[in-house]
């Protein structure tokens, strides 16, 4: 996750240097998420049948190789293709790792276990942008991509040497289809949440560097994104425990509302300190809602298969990450960068209300 996080805040600048417009910046980020959305449900279901380790190892191998391909990308078209392949590799790693943890989670402690695991995801993504900004300032963009390759190769070696294999515990003949997963009463609400939460977060991650570049250095922008993700990392376990004790849907709605209000304020902010406060608040909102959502998925996974459930959950995230850069890129090109955050904040507020309605109907 450090390797992935290194490039996230810098990729918009790199894309712009290749001549990308706002819409093309959105397409480059959406290509990654589109590949994830297509392959995660398929790979998740396959991991329930064939074991999880082989998928993670192969995905990390592609991670390492594709990191070097970023250096060779010399146009928006080639960069988009690299991102698509990178997204395919990601489909083999993150949801399958989440399924591992769900396999190990005792009943009634899903929030604590999933919250603890996501600490590692957010710590990696949190330190990555900060490290990427520093490397970019000191050695240039090529060094950033090479660093991503190094971190990915270290992950590959660790998994090859120390990771035991794991298979889902469901009987092969009774595994539900993807359609059954989506229809599951618990999954309906949480999949909607994941799409809309990712829409807002995708806008923040892709377009905060664009609006902040007017007044801040790359290292400062990297710090803003890092502190946002590290805030989520530090609070995941705490709110995971809360999710095991309290109504999960309440926490999800509360977290979404904090994110929405924070997004709406970003166009009004000028300077590092005020943007830092907004980044922290968005991180707090995410840390309140995400552990509850992943706990619901882990509970549902006992009925539909953990690989299938986590694959669908991460696919929902990818749907949000696909639509956010594209829609926000269009808003940026036709109306202006400030309206990107206003639009996303309004969408997030509406989605909190819709989620609440769905949760009441399904009993989540």
pLDDT at 300 over 60: yes
270 Ramachandran zone, left/alpha/beta (phi>0; psi -120 to 50): beta
278, 262 Cβ separation under 8 angstroms = yes
What does the pLDDT read at residue 225?
A: 80
pLDDT at 281 over 90: yes
Q: Is position 169 within any domain? A: no
What does the pLDDT read at residue 176?
A: 57
Q: How many domains does the chain have?
A: 1
The two three-digit tokens of residue 202, written as one number = 């995708």
DSSP state for residue 213 in the 8-state scheme: T
Measure the CA angle with vertex 156, ends 151 and 160; round to 5°.
150
Residue for token pair 């595994």: 175
Q: Is position 136 within any domain? A: yes
What does the pLDDT read at residue 342?
A: 92
Q: Is position 98 within any domain? A: yes
Mean residue pLDDT across the chain: 83
Average pLDDT score over residue span 157-170: 76
What does the pLDDT read at residue 171?
A: 47
pLDDT at 316 over 80: yes
Q: Decide: residue 138, CB within 10 A, 0-12 exposed, 13-18 middle, 19+ buried.
A: exposed
List the one residue out of 271, 272, 183, 268 whose CA is nearest residue 227.
272
What does the pLDDT read at residue 178?
A: 61
Q: Using one digit for the tens of pLDDT, what is the confidence trace for 331-350? A: 888 888 888 899 989 988 99
Q: Is position 139 within any domain? A: yes
pLDDT at 180 over 70: no
270, 148 Cβ separation under 8 angstroms = no
Give the domain CATH number at 204. Answer: 1.20.1250.20
What does the pLDDT read at residue 134?
A: 83
212, 224 Cβ separation under 8 angstroms = yes
The two three-digit tokens of residue 36, written as one number = 């994830």
Q: What is the largest CA-CA distance in the chain?
A: 58
DSSP state for residue 74 in the 8-state scheme: -
**Residues of the domain holding 58:** 2-164+175-362
Helices then strands, each counted (H, E), the chain: 15, 0
Q: What percent of the chain has pLDDT over 70?
A: 95
Q: Using one digit for the tens of pLDDT, what is the confidence trace for 94-114? A: 888 888 888 877 877 777 888
């Amino acid at each position: 996750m450090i390797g992935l996080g290194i490039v996230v805040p810098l990729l918009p600048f790199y894309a712009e240097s290749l001549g990308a417009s706002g819409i093309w910046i959105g397409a480059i980020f959406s290509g990654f998420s589109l590949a994830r959305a297509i392959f995660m449900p398929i790979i998740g279901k396959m991991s329930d049948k064939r074991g999880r380790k082989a998928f993670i190892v192969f995905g990390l191998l592609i991670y390492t190789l594709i990191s070097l391909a970023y250096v060779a990308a010399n146009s928006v078209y080639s960069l988009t293709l690299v991102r698509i392949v990178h997204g395919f590799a990601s489909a083999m790693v993150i949801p399958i790792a989440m399924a591992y943890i769900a396999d190990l989670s005792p009943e009634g402690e899903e929030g604590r276990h999933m919250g603890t695991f996501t600490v590692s995801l957010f710590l990696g993504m949190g330190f990555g942008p900060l490290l990427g900004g520093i490397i970019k300032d000191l050695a240039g963009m090529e060094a950033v991509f090479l660093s991503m390759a190094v971190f990915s190769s270290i992950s590959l070696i660790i998994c090859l040497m120390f990771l035991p294999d794991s298979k889902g515990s469901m009987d092969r003949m009774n595994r539900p289809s993807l359609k059954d997963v989506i229809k599951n009463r618990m999954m309906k609400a949480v999949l909607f949440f994941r799409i809309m939460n990712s829409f807002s977060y995708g806008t923040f991650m892709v377009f905060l560097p664009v609006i902040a570049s007017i007044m801040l250095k790359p290292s400062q922008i990297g710090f803003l994104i890092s502190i946002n993700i590290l805030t989520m990392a530090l609070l995941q376990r705490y709110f995971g425990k809360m999710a095991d004790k309290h109504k999960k849907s309440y926490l999800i709605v509360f977290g979404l509302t904090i994110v929405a209000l924070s997004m709406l304020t970003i166009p009004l902010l000028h300077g590092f300190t005020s943007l830092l406060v907004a980044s922290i608040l968005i991180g707090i909102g995410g840390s309140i809602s995400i552990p509850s959502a992943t706990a619901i998925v882990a509970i549902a996974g006992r009925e539909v298969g953990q690989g299938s459930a986590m694959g669908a959950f991460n696919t929902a995230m990818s749907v949000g990450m696909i639509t956010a850069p594209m829609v926000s890129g269009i808003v940026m090109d036709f109306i202006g960068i400030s309206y990107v955050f206003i639009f996303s904040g309004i969408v997030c507020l509406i989605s909190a209300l819709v989620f609440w309605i769905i949760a009441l109907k399904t009993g989540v």
